[in-house]
A and B are shown apart, each in its own frame.
Chain A
Amino acid sequence: EAEVAQSPRYKITEKSQAVAFWCDPISGHATLYWYRQILGQGPELLVQFQDESVVDDSQLPKDRFSAERLKGVDSTLKIQPAELGDSAMYLCASQRGSSLNTEAFFGQGTRLTVV
Chain B
Amino acid sequence: AQSVTQLGSHVSVSEGALVLLRCNYSSSVPPYLFWYVQYPNQGLQLLLKYTSAATLVKGINGFEAEFKKSETSFHLTKPSAHMSDAAEYFCAVTPYNQGGKLIFGQGTELSVKP
Contact = CB atoms under 8 A, between A and B. Distances in A.
A91 interface: yes
A43 B106 CA distance: 8
A95 B44 CA distance: 14
Interface in B67-114: 90, 92, 94, 98-107
A99 B100 CA distance: 6
Choose among A40, A97, A100 the residue with the greatest number of B CB atoms under 10 Å from its CB: A100
A70 B45 CA distance: 27
17 contacts: A4-B43, A41-B106, A42-B104, A42-B106, A43-B44, A43-B104, A48-B100, A56-B98, A89-B41, A93-B44, A97-B100, A98-B99, A100-B49, A101-B51, A106-B45, A107-B43, A109-B42
A45 B32 contact: no
Contacts of B101: 33, 45, 48, 56
A104 B100 contact: yes
Interface residues of A, number: 30
A44 to B, nearest CB: 7
Contacts of A100: 32, 49, 51, 94, 99-100
B46 interface: yes
Interface of A: 4, 31, 33, 35, 40-45, 48, 55-56, 89, 91, 93, 95, 97-104, 106-109, 111
A100 B98 CA distance: 10
Closest 3 CB pairs of A and B: A42-B104, A98-B99, A106-B43
Contacts of A111: 41
